Amino acid sequence: MSKTAIVVFSDPKSGGEEALGRLFNALFVTYELREKRQQVALIFQGTGVRWPSEIVKPGHPANALYVAVKDTVVGACGGCADVFGAAEDTKRAGVTLVREKDIPGVGGVIDLSKYIDEGFRLLTF
């Protein structure tokens, strides 16, 4: 069985449609792989940690798709959420802040290298 980690870096605050397009594509692939019963991990990293508080809103265009793949969410990078001011909103959205690897000046972040070590493909959006 193939294993894929899908990492969302796009920033909903960028003001453009590209960021939403990247999010949708990340969610589409997550949905497709989940449907094929493949192991998939959805991760919010960098400014992508701002997405959870947006996509949990029922009126958001990606809400239904997010709800369909929510069980694949590993979490959001804790250090990134701190740096980009999204920690409280991300937690309120029900997404765990992951702090696996301590990085100087940033704090704990998701260790993406462990996914590579465990044979996951990394797809970034």
Burial 108-123 (b: 16+ CB within 10 A, else e): bbbbbeebeeeebeeb
Decide if 53 contacts 93 (C-beta within 8 A): yes
CATH code assigned at 77: 3.40.1260.10
Q: What pLDDT sits at residue 3?
A: 98
Residue type, 103: I
Between CA 62 and CA 81 the distance in angstroms is: 21
**The domain containing residue 59 runs over which residues?**
3-124
> What residues in the chain have per-residue pLDDT under 70?
none
Q: What pLDDT sits at residue 107?
A: 84
Domain count, the chain: 1
Between CA 7 and CA 30 the distance in angstroms is: 10
Q: What pLDDT sits at residue 110?
A: 96
Q: What pLDDT sits at residue 16?
A: 84
Residue given tokens 């449609």 in the structure block: 17
